[in-house]
Amino acid sequence: MGRQRRESISSDIPLRPPDVCVKDTGTPKGRGVFALRAFAEGEVVEVCPAVLFRMPFEQLPEEVRKLVYDWGGLAGMPDTHALALGYGSLYNHGNPASLRYGADEAGLLLRLVAVRDVAAGEELTINYNAEGGEPVSGDDYWFEMNGVTPIAG
């Protein structure tokens, strides 16, 4: 008997190659994630499998701390952080951002969703500061808190 191919881990979130690419932003930020096609507000842009680290943030290697999401805040699992596979850990910061993100706890997935219409060719961003993956925050404390100098773009 051959194996049956599964199209998704969660029945309503297909895992497929996203319609995005990574390229240089042309700014000091370096690489960023860009839309290969237009996305409508509310449309899922990417679904990323997540690798979880169950340890305090400070114990993660410095390079990893710059790439992980606060899974504890998203999924109610204290001291747990997610490294998003796919392009998930390569999105630059924006405030306001063009995407929000959320956890699919059962499937161990991170879902990135457009919060407004996005044009083809536009850089896609997430907000590093906002709680729960929201696109807007009042300040940019994440950079200072993590010893990272924000790069304007």
> Residue for token digits 């997430």?
126
Q: State the pLDDT at residue 51.
A: 96
Is residue 41 exposed (0-12), middle (13-18) or buried (19+ Cβ within 10 Å)? exposed
Angle at 118 between CA 91 and CA 11, to 5 degrees: 70
In angstroms, the CA 64 to CA 82 distance is 10
pLDDT at 15 over 70: no
139 pLDDT tier (thresholds 50, 70, 90): confident
In tens, the pLDDT along 25-47 reads 988 888 999 999 999 999 999 99
| Element of type H or E holding 39 | none
In angstroms, the CA 153 to CA 117 distance is 20
Q: State the pLDDT at residue 144.
A: 67
7 pLDDT tier (thresholds 50, 70, 90): very low
- For residue 35, give both structure tokens: 């839309």
pLDDT at 4 over 50: no
In tens, the pLDDT along 56-114 reads 999 999 889 889 999 999 998 999 999 999 999 999 989 999 999 999 988 899 999 99
pLDDT at 153 over 70: no
Domains of the chain in sequence order? 16-127 (2.170.270.10)
pLDDT at 6 over 50: no
